[in-house]
Structures are given as structure tokens and as C-alpha cells.
Structure 1
Amino acid sequence: VIFHAQVSDGKNPVAQKRVIYDLVTINKGLAYNPVTGFFTVPVPGLYQFTYSLLAQMTSERTAVYLMRNDENQSYLHSILKSGQAQSSSMDTILSLNRDDQVWVRLGTGSAWSGLGALNFQGVLLEAEED
């Protein structure tokens, strides 16, 4: 199970909403849904997720959260001065159950989607028995 997706140019996410990574480059296991933005766990086990942020130059504070169901698991936080830009990414390893949903939420600020700047990917590291 592995997926990688990014946000299309010009489809900048909205604060307090789920980020929809609509351009899928790989989706083995078909667990990532580019319409809803949810990765639904098909096999329980240890997964590694990576997500990235390019805070817009007009946004002073930007926060992006990796969610498991409705709970924050990790986050990226960017504080900028006017006219600056900052790119960052986060890796998180989670022990997940079948049908858990993992997704990314833009909490505050604004993120830029140009040039493949917003990415979300996950891979099954080790399967566990149900």
C-alpha cells in the first residue's frame, strides 16, 4: 500500500477545511481518494505519512495538521514576515486500524499549491493482523 498525491496549481486550500490532493501519481492499493482527500486504511499496521506546506507570502501564520479520523496527529507551523515564503514537510509514523481515515487539514493561514508545493504521501511499513 503506497500513495502520493498533490494539489493542482491554482487550487489553494481553504483554512479550517480538509486539503484535497487531487493529482494522484501513485495509488497502489487504491486507499487514497482524490475526491474526498481521505486515505482509508485497508490493512492494519504501521504507516509512514509525509505532507508538505508552502506558506503563502501574504499569510503570517500557517498551520497544517495530519489527522487520524478527527484527531490531530502532527502538524506543521510556519510564521513569516511579509514578503517571505517558507517550505517545510513532516514525516509521521502511525499505528493504524482498518478503516481509520488519515487526512490533512489546513488550520490557519493560507498555502500555495503552485509547482507541486503541496504533497501528501503514505506507505505501509509493516502489516499487523486484524
Structure 2
Amino acid sequence: MQIVTFKVRALEEKIEKISKDAGISPWNGPGGRGVAFTARLSNNQTVFSQQTIVFDDALTNIGRAYNPVTGIFIAPYTGRYMFSLSVRAQYQKQVCAEIVAEPEVVGQVAAGDTEIERASASLTVVTSLEKGNEVYVRETKTWTGHFFGDGFTVFTGYLLQ
């Protein structure tokens, strides 16, 4: 067991050295604290216009900056963040969603139609945030969006630097 522990530590040191030489940190955030989350809809959701979509099943929540009760990510540090959103419309329904980094919309996506049985769309954005800025996803249509759950609709974010 000691040999395995020694080899693992040696590999960790190599990763840290390669990362440092490349000018990146394997652990995001000041002082090596990570910030990353992936949350999904556990069930189908009907969401009204301008309503925040609450991704209730947080698969990853490093740094605890995403709140699966409110659906809001609060930036714990000033920096550049990457956010990704994948949506799937319920069968023969429509969804339109946008990522909001208060006060502005940083990306929009739409999927679905009454003639399409399964429709998905995704987007990825990079934005600069100040500590305390809120980021969330909301429905954008003037009527309702019918989002497919079961892990098909997913919101992800992490601190780049």
C-alpha cells in the first residue's frame, strides 16, 4: 500500500509541475479553491415566461456557489467563468432559455416544435464576473416552456481564472 501511495503522490507532483509550467492551475480559484457545478432537471418542468429554471439535481457543486433550491449561481470570486446550457423540449413542445449574468443576457438557446418529437439545443459562453454576481437560466418565450427532465436539461459552470 505504501508503494501505491508513493506512486500516486509522484503523479500528483508531476501534474502540478506540468500545470505550473503551462501557466495553468489544476485547481481553480484563489489559493487552489475550486469552483465548478453541474446541475440538471430531475423531472419534466413547465416554466413560465421570465421564470428562473431551477436545476434541482446538483451532480457537482465544488465551492457550493450554485444553489439547487433557487437555481442561482453566485460568483465567489472575481474572474472569467464558463457556462454551458443544454436543453431538451418535451415531446412536440418548445423551449427558449437564456443564461443571465445580472444584469445582462449572455446567451440564448431554443429547441422544439409541434412537429418535432425530440429536440435539443445547447450553448457555451465565457463571461467576466465580479464577486457576488448572480448567474441563472430563465425561460424567454412569452408563453411557457416545456423542459424535459431526467438529466436531459443541464446547466454547468466553472471558474476559468
TM-score (norm 1): 0.86
Question: 1:5: Cα distance to partner?
Answer: 0.4
Conserved 8 A contact 2:47-2:139: yes
Worse-matched range after superposition: 45-54 or 67-76 = 67-76
Alignment of 1:4-43 (within 5 A): 4-43=38-77
Match of 1:98 in 2: 131
1:56-114 CA-to-partner distances (Å, cap 9, x unmatched) read 3333x531100012421110023524243211111000011000000000112423333
Structure 2 gap ranges (5+): 1-34
Higher relative contact order (CA 8 A, sep 6+): 1
Equivalenced residue count is: 125
Give, in whole Å, the separation in 2 of the partners of 1:10 and 1:18.
15
Query: What is residue 148 of structure 2 aligned with on the other side?
Result: 113
> What is the TM-score with the length of structure 2 in the denominator?
0.71
Task: Report which of the two has the higher share of helix.
Answer: 2
CA contact (8 A) 1:46 1:124 kept: yes
Identity level (%): 30
Greater strand share, 1 or 2?
1
- Tell me the distance in 1 between the aligned counterparts of 2:68 and 2:112: 29
Counterpart of 2:91 in structure 1 is 57
Mapped partners of 2:116, 2:106: distance in 1: 30
Gaps of 5+ in 1: none
Instruction: Tell me the distance in 1 between the aligned counterparts of 2:132 and 2:70.
Output: 15
Aligned-pair CA distance for 1:54: 0.6
Partners of 1:9 and 1:115 within 8 A in 2: yes
Structure 1 outlier segments of 4+, above 3 Å: 10-15
Deviation at 1:16, TM superposition (A): 2.5
